[in-house]
Amino acid sequence: MHIPFFTGFPGFISRQIIGELIHQKKTETIFAIVLPSQLVIAREVAKDLVKQSQNVNIHLVEGISHYQIWA
């Protein structure tokens, strides 16, 4: 089984794809990189997504954007 890694979470597209993966039972572990400014929202969204299946873990990885690197 693959372990997907998402960027742009908790954005609309990544949220929809993760929700579909959970619904189809395609994975049990998901990693998502999250901007520090989005971390609180990402935790809430991940918590809601995990409610769909008790067998899924979403691991949030706090990261920075390329804009922050060059600032």
The more confident residue out of 14 and 67 is 14
**Residue 26 belongs to a domain:** yes
Work out how many domains the chain is built from and give that number. Answer: 1
Cβ partners under 8 Å of residue 64, min gap 6: 35, 36
9 within a domain of the structure (yes/no): no
* Of residues 58, 60, 55, the one with CA closest to residue 24: 55
25 within some domain: yes
- Domain assignment of residue 1, yes or no: no
Instruction: Judge whether 40 lies within some domain.
Output: yes
Q: What burial class does residue 34 get, using C-beta atoms within 10 Å of its C-beta: 0-12 exposed, 13-18 middle, 19+ buried?
A: buried
**Among 60, 54, 56, CA closest to 14:** 60
Asked if the structure places residue 7 within a domain, the reply is no
Q: Is residue 70 situated within a structural domain?
A: no
Domain that holds residue 58: 18-64
Quick one: which of 23, 43, 20, 22 has its CA closest to 32? 43
**pTM to 2 decimals?**
0.84
Query: Per-residue pLDDT tens for 7-53?
Result: 999 999 999 999 999 999 889 999 999 999 999 999 999 999 999 88
